[in-house]
């Protein structure tokens, strides 16, 4: 398409640029001896009523036909884009007024508007250009208004407003650069339509006036004798169609190029991922995932944020997934739920949900199973709901679609679910829309909706991060109740180590896209053996922390998700690293019946509950003259309690 467009544009460019020099004389020279001739070897398209060569006139008219079309498009685009973009930066009342104006202008057909204004401005090429600019401006305004609306509500616009940027700066710096690409494409396509419209105006006598001429006028003059000599009318018609198609194709080619530029590189299949048959299914396991890998496309590289995650959840078990930002927790959850973003690819050795192997079922079957057996609760309850639909519609959607539950019965179930999560309001709440609820209410509705399907597994991705501690507690109570009542397994993703340790049965610690430790939650504080888990736990401040000392952090940053070097992902930050840590990747290996760790040199169990207690023990030992190991955890805890 690109080559064809180039050839077509080149074919137009030659007569457009050289037409006036090469053919103007022949085009304007009358020949009384050759009036109204048909096509001959001397005049390939024939002559007009003054004996002028029609081919020369057609070629010489290229520039006068294309230039006004491009000029009208640019004028209309400038006016329309300004009008439309203003809606993103003005206040509410002005925005409504501008919107109404755009709607009003759009209510009239563009060609009618063009003819009206062409007559108003007076027949002639300039009047036609202005008329067409006026006619196409509302279309540009509407597209720009729609595009600008997507930018207007963004956080960076809010931040720019807070910084006090003036409107024209907001417009030029923040709105237009974000929507420029589709507007440029639209302008190119519109130029083709403008050419057709301008030729139409000239054809009707409202555009170019003799002795000036363009293709539209030539077409009109040729039409007088179309039954005896079709070529004088057909040739300008073909020229108009040819140029209009060239502009349209140019728009298509630009759009294709833009899409290709935006489309990230497709990831190649992850390497070093041997196909494995997987272990036999355990009877009480709801979910079993082995060697899950996720590869994401990026514009210039391939991102591998999840690199061989193995996990399993039993019925009714609540498992915490912790790890610092970027360790791959959310992508692991999305891969399990088959909700990865476009272009992302997941592979696994085993993916068994409710006993069924994902590898042996079709995508449709897998999705159906996930839709009925799994529910997701997201961090931001605001974006989990469609703002334009009522809560009731969204809550009842899944049971109606998957269980075929009649509407009235689905509503009853929704009311029961709302009662279960202690949300008052009943039917009134079902009739409300998401924006009418607070964040905590929305999250409770999300949990109520999730519980309506009685799922075997709930994946809760930081469900309490956006909420205050009181609501957080209520949400945790709800999850616990659902788990107890329905034996639902819960994969609870959180940054709140203390909350996870308190609420979960087991904790999976994730680092650099892999699970580095899997241990019972009760052992998290004292029994963690991976240096990363230890440091993560130690970095949690508590009320007993010495406020004069800086908070503990883990030096360094998370590993680059694009890196392909072997070795333990934590080795460069690990104070206990061994030589082999930099070259050999450790795998998750059992340390005890319920404890697995991926480390070449797991630390010995901490004597007491975490770093805080260890330090307190040292102080206590120094004060009492005992050795550190003589100080029991009970001593330390008792002392802390007394101090509090
Ligand atoms: N659509 C995407 N395209 C490219 N990279 C992505 C995409 N989504 C996530 N990533 C990258 O993948 C890595 C893991 O992201 P993920 O959201 O799973 O981390 P996380 O552990 O859940 O972090 P957080 O706790 O902050 O939510 C990060 O480095 C992130 O930058």
Q: Render pLDDT for 254-301 as a digit per residue (tens, 0 to 9).
A: 888 876 665 555 544 444 333 333 344 566 889 999 999 999 877 677
What is the distance in A from the centroid of ligand 1 to the CA of 305? 7
Which pLDDT value is given to residue 80?
95
**Alpha carbon of 321 to ligand 1 centroid (Å):** 14
Q: What is the DSSP letter of 69?
A: H
Helix (H/G/I), strand (E/B), else coil: 294: strand
Are 441 and 433 in contact by the 8 Å Cβ rule? The answer is no
Categorize the per-residue pLDDT at 135 as very low, low, confident or very high, splitting at 50, 70 and 90: very high
Cα(505)–Cα(523) distance, integer angstroms: 10
Determine if ligand 1 sits within 6 Å of the CB of residue 561. Answer: yes
Top-confidence range, 252-261, 374-383, 629-638: 374-383
Q: Which of 561, 562, 569 to mutate to test the pocket of ligand 1 (most atoms within 8 A of CB)?
A: 561
pLDDT at 386 over 90: no
Q: Compute the half-sphere exposure of residue 527: CA atoms within 13 Å on the CB side of its CA.
A: 17
Round to whole Å and give the CA distance between 616 and 643.
12
Is residue 327 in contact with ligand 1, taking CB distance under 6 Å? yes
C-alpha 328 to ligand 1 mean position (Å): 6
Share of the chain above pLDDT 90, in %: 33
Range in 9-23, 46-60, 532-546, 591-605 the model is least confident about: 532-546
Average pLDDT taken over every residue of the chain? 84
Tell me: pLDDT of 437 over 60.
Answer: yes
What is the mean pLDDT of the segment spanning 432-441? Answer: 87
pLDDT in tens, 536-592: 888 877 777 677 777 778 888 888 888 878 889 998 889 888 888 988 889 889 988
pLDDT tens across 457-483, in order?
Answer: 999 998 887 677 887 888 888 899 889
Higher pLDDT, 95 or 154: 95
* Residue 404 vs residues 392, 409, 430, 452: alpha-carbon distances, Å: 16, 10, 20, 13
CA of 505 to the centre of ligand 1 (A): 26
How many A from CA of 481 to the centre of ligand 1?
Answer: 30
Is 305 touching ligand 1 by the criterion CB < 6 Å? Answer: yes
Is residue 405 very low, low, confident or very high in pLDDT (cuts 50, 70, 90)?
Answer: confident
Length of the chain: 644
From the CB of 513, is ligand 1 less than 6 Å away?
A: no
Q: What is the pLDDT of residue 278?
A: 39
pLDDT of residue 431: 93
Q: In this structure, what DSSP letter does residue 281 have?
A: P
Cα distance between residue 174 and residue 89, in whole Å: 10
Predicted confidence at residue 619, as pLDDT, reads: 61
Q: What's the complex ipTM? A: 0.95
pLDDT digits (tens, 9 = 90+) for 215-267: 999 999 999 888 988 999 999 999 999 999 999 999 888 888 876 665 555 54
In ligand 1, the atom with minimum distance to the C-alpha of 510 is 21
Q: How far is the CA of 480 from the centre of ligand 1 (A)?
A: 28
For residue 298, give the ligand 1 atom closest to its CA: 4
- How many Å apart are CA 584 and CA 498, to the nearest integer? 32
For residues 168-197, give the mean pLDDT: 87
Enumerate domains of the chain plus CATH numbers. 2-13+34-261 (1.10.3720.10), 285-291+304-495 (3.40.50.300), 505-606 (no CATH), 614-644 (no CATH)
* Tokens found for residue 366: 């897998």
Range among 228-232, 523-527, 626-630 with highest mean pLDDT value: 228-232
Q: Using an 8 Å Cβ cutoff, are 523 and 508 in contact?
A: no
Atom from ligand 1 closest to the CA of residue 495: 25
Mean pLDDT in residue range 55-63:
93
- Residue 296 three-state SS: strand
DSSP assignment letter at 445: H
CA-proximal residue: ligand 1, atom 8 (nearest)? 331
211 preceded by a cis bond (ω within 30 of 0): yes
Q: How far is the CA of 458 from the centre of ligand 1 (A)?
A: 20
Q: How confident is the model at residue 52 (pLDDT cuts 50, 70, 90)?
A: very high
pLDDT at 177: 83
Please tell me the residue having the least CA distance from ligand 1 atom 17.
330
Nearest CA to ligand 1 atom 24: 325
- Identify whether the C-beta of residue 536 lies closer than 8 Å to the C-beta of residue 554: yes
CA of 293 to the centre of ligand 1 (A): 13
Q: What pLDDT is attached to residue 293?
A: 93
Q: Ligand 1 test: best mutation among 266, 304, 328, most atoms within 8 Å of CB?
A: 328
Ligand 1 atom with least separation from CA of 333: 18
**Given a cut of 50, is residue 506 above it in pLDDT?**
yes
Specify the ligand 1 atom closest to the Cα of 331. Answer: 18
pLDDT at 190 over 50: yes
pLDDT given for residue 277 in this prediction: 38
What's the rounded Cα separation, in Å, for the pair 599 and 586? Answer: 6
What atom of ligand 1 comes closest to residue 306's alpha carbon?
14
Other C-beta atoms closer than 10 Å to the C-beta of 551 total: 9
DSSP result, 30-83: --GGGTT----SSSTT-B-TT--BHHHHHHHTHHHHHHHHHHHHHHHHHHHHHH
Nearest C-alpha to atom 10 of ligand 1 is from which residue? 305
Q: How many Å apart are CA 622 and CA 191, to the nearest integer?
A: 85
329 CB within 6 A, ligand 1: yes
Which residue, 81, 67, 78, is CA-closest to 195?
67
Burial 370-397 (b: 16+ CB within 10 A, else e): bbbbbbbbbbbbeebbeeeebbbbbbbb
Choice from 264, 304, 305, 346 to test ligand 1 binding pocket (greatest atom count within 8 A of CB): 305
User: What is the pLDDT at residue 76?
Assistant: 95
Specify burial of residue 323 (Cβ count, 10 A radius: 0-12, 13-18, 19+). buried
Residue 490: the pLDDT is: 94
Residue 356, phi then psi, degrees to nearest 5: -95, 135
């Amino acid at each position: 398409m690109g080559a064809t467009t180039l050839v077509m544009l080149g074919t137009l460019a030659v007569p457009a640029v050289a037409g006036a020099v090469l053919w103007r004389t022949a085009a304007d020279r009358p020949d009384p001896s050759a009036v109204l001739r048909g096509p001959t070897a001397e005049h390939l398209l024939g002559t007009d009523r003054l004996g002028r060569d029609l081919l020369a006139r057609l070629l010489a008219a290229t520039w006068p036909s294309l230039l006004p079309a491009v000029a009208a498009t640019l004028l209309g685009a400038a006016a329309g884009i300004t009008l439309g973009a203003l809606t993103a930066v003005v206040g509410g009342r002005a925005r409504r007024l501008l919107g109404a104006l755009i709607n009003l202008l759009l209510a009239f057909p563009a060609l009618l508007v063009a003819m009206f204004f062409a007559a108003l401005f007076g027949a002639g090429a300039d009047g036609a250009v202005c008329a067409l600019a006026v006619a196409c401006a509302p279309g540009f305004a509407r597209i720009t208004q729609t595009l600008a609306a997507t930018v207007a509500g963004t956080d960076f616009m809010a931040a720019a407003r807070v910084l006090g940027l003036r409107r024209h700066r907001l417009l030029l710096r923040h709105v237009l650069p974000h929507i420029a690409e589709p507007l440029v494409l639209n302008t190119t396509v519109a130029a083709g339509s403008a050419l057709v419209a301008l030729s139409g105006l000239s054809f009707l006598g409202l555009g170019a006036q003799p002795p000036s001429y363009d293709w539209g006028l030539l077409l009109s003059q040729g039409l007088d004798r179309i039954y005896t000599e079709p070529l004088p009318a057909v040739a300008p018609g073909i020229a108009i169609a040819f140029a209009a198609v060239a502009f349209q194709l140019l728009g298509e080619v630009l759009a294709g190029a833009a899409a290709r530029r935006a489309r990230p590189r497709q990831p190649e299949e992850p390497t070093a991922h041997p196909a494995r048959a997987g272990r036999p299914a355990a009877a009480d396991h709801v979910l079993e995932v082995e060697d899950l890998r996720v590869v994401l496309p990026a514009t210039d590289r391939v991102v591998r944020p999840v690199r061989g995650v193995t996990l399993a959840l039993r019925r009714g078990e609540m498992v915490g997934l912790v790890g610092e930002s970027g360790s791959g927790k959310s992508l692991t959850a999305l891969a399990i739920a088959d909700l990865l973003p476009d272009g992302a690819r997941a592979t696994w050795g085993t993916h068994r949900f409710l006993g069924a192997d994902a590898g042996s079922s079709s995508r449709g079957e897998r999705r159906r199973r996930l839709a009925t057996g799994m529910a997701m609760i997201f961090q931001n309850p605001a974006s989990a709901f469609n703002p334009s639909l009522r809560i009731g519609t969204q809550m009842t959607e899944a049971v109606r679609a998957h269980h075929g539950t009649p509407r009235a019965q689905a509503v009853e179930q929704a009311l029961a679910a709302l009662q279960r999560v202690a949300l008052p309001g009943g039917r009134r709440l079902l009739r409300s829309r998401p924006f009418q609820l607070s964040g905590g209410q929305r999250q409770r509705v999300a949990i109520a909706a999730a519980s309506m399907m009685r799922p075997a597994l709930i994946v809760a991705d930081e469900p309490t991060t956006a909420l205050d501690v009181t609501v957080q507690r209520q949400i945790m109570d709800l999850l616990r109740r659902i788990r107890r009542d329905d034996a639902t397994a819960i994969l609870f993703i959180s940054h709140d180590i203390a909350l996870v340790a308190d609420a979960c049965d087991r904790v999976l610690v994730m680092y650099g896209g892999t699970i580095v430790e899997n241990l019972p939650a009760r052992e998290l504080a004292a029994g963690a053996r991976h240096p990363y888990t230890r440091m993560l736990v130690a970095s949690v401040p508590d009320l007993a922390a010495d406020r004069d000392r800086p908070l503990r952090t883990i030096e360094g940053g998370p590993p680059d998700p694009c890196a392909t070097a072997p070795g333990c992902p934590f080795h460069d930050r690990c104070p206990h690293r061994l030589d082999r840590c930099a070259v050999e990747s450790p795998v998750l290996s059992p340390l005890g019946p319920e404890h697995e760790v991926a480390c070449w040199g797991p630390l010995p169990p901490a004597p007491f509950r975490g770093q805080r207690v260890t330090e307190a023990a040292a102080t206590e030992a120094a004060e009492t003259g005992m050795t550190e190991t003589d100080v029991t955890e009970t001593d330390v805890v008792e002392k802390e309690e007394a101090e509090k």
